[in-house]
Structure 1
Amino acid sequence: MGIFGKISKAARTLGARDAHWARALRQGVAPGLEHVAMLQRLQPAMVVDIGANRGQFTLATRHASPAARVLAFEPLPKPAEIFRKLFADDDKVRLFPVAVGLETGEATIHVSARDDSSSLLPITATQNALFPGTAETGTQTIRVMRLEDCLDSADLCSPALLKLDVQGFELTALQGCESLLHEFSWVYTECSFVELYEGQALADEVIAWLRERRFSLCGVFNMAYDDRGKAIQADFLFSALKSP
C-alpha cells in the first residue's frame, strides 16, 4: 500500500482519537499500522527503535502500548527533525540522531529518493526495480555508534523489544547491539530473501546469528512478494529463549 493509502486507512481507523497519529497525519507521516497488532499482543514496556525514520514505528508503539518508553535512533537529519516535531511533548520518547553499527565513528549513508529506503550499504538496481522510486539520489556522512555507547542496562526496562529497520544493515546493526542483547525479550527486524543492498546479510544469516544468541524465530509478518510470487522480504519476530 502506498503512503497515501496508508494515511487514508489510518485516518479512517483513528480519526481524532489518537493525538500523536492525528498530528502525524497532518504532517504526511503514515503510522506503522501493520505493526499495531503485534505490539498490542506483546505489550513491551520499552522499545528501542533503530531506523526510526519519521517515527512510523514509534507512532505504532505509542498507540498500541501507551505505557511503553521508546528510545529511537535515526541518523538522517530531515526525518530526524520530523520525528522530533511529532514527539516534542512526549516525555516517554527520546531520539538519538545516530545509526547503530559495529564500530563508533563516521560512515557514508546512501540516500534513497524515499529516505526510509536509505542504507549504509549501496542500493542495488534490484531494490529500485522491485520498489520503484527508491534509487540512490546521493550520499551523506552520518555518525555511527554501538548501542552500548548510547545506552546501558539501567536505561532499559523489561520486557523490552529491539526493533530494526535498517535496509540491509540488519546483521551489522545487531552486532552493534550484542553487548545489550540479553536485556531484550524480543527482536523484531526486517530481513530480505534477495540482495536489495550490496553485501547485505540475508534472512537465513540473521536467523542463524540470533539463534546462536538464544533468540528463536516466533513470527513472520508483512511478507512482500514480487510479481511472480517470489518472497522478497518480511518482518521477523524473535523471542529470547529462557536459560536452561
Structure 2
Amino acid sequence: MLGRVRGILRSLAIYHGVPGRQRRARRLYQHFLGPDDLGFDIGAHVGSRVRTWRRLGARVVAVEPQPDCLRVLRALFGRDSRVTIVPGAAGAQPGQAQLALSSATPTVSSMAPGWIRSVATERSFSRVRWDRTIDVPVHSLDALISEHGEPTFCKIDVEGFEVEVLAGLSRPLRGLSFEYLPAAHDQMREAVRIIDGLGVDAGGYRYNYSPVETMRFLSERWLTGEELVRLLDERVRPTGRSGDVYARLGMS
C-alpha cells in the first residue's frame, strides 16, 4: 500500500508540480484544441492533459484503467461537467483485458506483455517492477466516439498498447498523438501506417515529434510518415529518449 501511495504522489509531483509545464503544454495543445472542442485522453493517468485542455476551454473524455489514478481524476475533475471520466482502457474491440500494474511507477503500467519484455531490458527500466495484475474493461475508439462524439484531438499514451488502440478506430480524426519509445520502434512504424491509412481519402496526415515533456516540436515543418520515421530513426532512436508523435489531418 505504501508503495502505491508513493507512486501516485510521484506522478502528481512530476505531472502537476513542475513550474512552467502547464504553460508550455497550453502553447502546444492550442494547435489542436480550443473552446468547446472535444479531446479524448486515452491513458489519462493523473490528469495533467485534462487540466491543460480544460484551461483551453475544451471538453474532455478521460479514459483510465488504474484504480488509484481514477481516484485522483475523480478528486480533481469529478465535479466538472465538461470532463467525462471513463474507467477502463481502449483497445481494438470492446471486452476485457489484463493490466499489469507497477505500483511504484504507475506511469508504466501496461496491457502489452511484449512491450513489457522489450523495455525491461532497457537501463532506464532496470528498477521497474510490474507487481500485480487486474482485469479492466476495454472500449474501442469507435465505441467511445459513438457514445461521446468525435474528438477534435485524441491523445494515446498506453505503454505499448498504441497499435491496439488505433486498431479500434475506423475513421480519420483531425488530430492524434501517441507515445514513442525507442525500444518500441517497430510499433511506431505500425502506428504511422495505420494513421496514414485512415487519412488517405481525407487529405492525408502530417507528423511532428515532441521529446518527452518538452512540449516543443522537434521539426520546424510537418513531415510525411516516411520523413517522421527517418527523423526518429536518425535523430531520436540513438539517444534512447522517448516522446510523443503528433499527427494532423489535411496538411498535405
TM-score by length of 2: 0.72
The answer on 1:217 being equivalent to 2:206 is yes
Q: Which residue of 1 aligns with 2:117?
A: 124
Root-mean-square deviation over aligned CA pairs: 2.9
User: How many residues align structurally?
Assistant: 210
The answer on 1:88 being equivalent to 2:78 is yes
Q: Which residue of 1 aligns with 2:139?
A: 145
- Following the alignment from structure 2 to structure 1, what is the Cα–Cα distance between the partners of residues 212 and 14? 18
- Following the alignment from structure 1 to structure 2, what is the Cα–Cα distance between the partners of residues 86 and 173? 26
**1:54-104 alpha-carbon deviations (Å, 9 max, x no partner):** 1121112122x1x21001101111111110110022111001101111122
Cα distance change of structure 1 residues 82 and 120 upon mapping to structure 2, 3 Å threshold: same
Structure 1 position 115, deviation (Å):
1.3
Matches within 5 A, 1:189-204: 189-195=178-184, 201-204=186-189
In structure 2, the gaps of 5 or more residues are 1-9, 214-231
Cα distance change of structure 1 residues 154 and 242 upon mapping to structure 2, 3 Å threshold: farther
- The structure that is strand-richer by fraction is 1
Matches within 5 A, 1:4-15: 4=13, 7-10=16-19, 13=20
Percentage of identical aligned residues: 23
Q: Which residue of 2 aligns with 1:25?
A: none
Matches within 5 A, 1:38-49: 38-44=28-34, 45-49=37-41
In structure 1, the gaps of 5 or more residues are 14-30
- Following the alignment from structure 1 to structure 2, what is the Cα–Cα distance between the partners of residues 93 and 154? 11
- Following the alignment from structure 1 to structure 2, what is the Cα–Cα distance between the partners of residues 141 and 48? 22
SS of residue paired to 2:210: strand
SS of residue paired to 1:148: helix
Q: Which residue of 2 aligns with 1:164?
A: 156
- Following the alignment from structure 1 to structure 2, what is the Cα–Cα distance between the partners of residues 134 and 32? 27
Cα distance change of structure 1 residues 34 and 202 upon mapping to structure 2, 3 Å threshold: farther
More displaced, 77-86 or 211-220? 211-220
The answer on 1:230 being equivalent to 2:239 is yes
The answer on 1:69 being equivalent to 2:59 is yes
- Following the alignment from structure 2 to structure 1, what is the Cα–Cα distance between the partners of residues 193 and 78? 39
- Following the alignment from structure 1 to structure 2, what is the Cα–Cα distance between the partners of residues 186 and 149? 18
Q: Which residue of 2 aligns with 1:59?
A: 51
Cα distance change of structure 1 residues 6 and 119 upon mapping to structure 2, 3 Å threshold: closer
- Following the alignment from structure 2 to structure 1, what is the Cα–Cα distance between the partners of residues 48 and 134? 22
Quick one: higher RCO (CA 8 Å, sep 6+), 1 or 2?
Answer: 2
Structure 1 position 48, deviation (Å):
0.5
8 Å contact 1:217–1:236 — kept in the other structure?
Answer: no
Cα distance change of structure 1 residues 103 and 7 upon mapping to structure 2, 3 Å threshold: closer
User: What letter matches 2:206 in structure 1?
Assistant: L
Cα distance change of structure 1 residues 242 and 6 upon mapping to structure 2, 3 Å threshold: closer
Cα distance change of structure 1 residues 89 and 132 upon mapping to structure 2, 3 Å threshold: farther
8 Å contact 2:209–2:246 — kept in the other structure?
Answer: yes
The answer on 1:114 being equivalent to 2:123 is no
- Following the alignment from structure 2 to structure 1, what is the Cα–Cα distance between the partners of residues 16 and 142? 35
- The structure that is helix-richer by fraction is 2
- Following the alignment from structure 1 to structure 2, what is the Cα–Cα distance between the partners of residues 191 and 32? 21
Structure 1 position 155, deviation (Å):
2.2
SS of residue paired to 1:58: helix
8 Å contact 1:171–1:201 — kept in the other structure?
Answer: no
8 Å contact 2:175–2:249 — kept in the other structure?
Answer: yes
- Following the alignment from structure 2 to structure 1, what is the Cα–Cα distance between the partners of residues 239 and 153? 29
Q: Which residue of 1 aligns with 2:129?
A: 135
Cα distance change of structure 1 residues 137 and 50 upon mapping to structure 2, 3 Å threshold: same
8 Å contact 1:111–1:138 — kept in the other structure?
Answer: yes
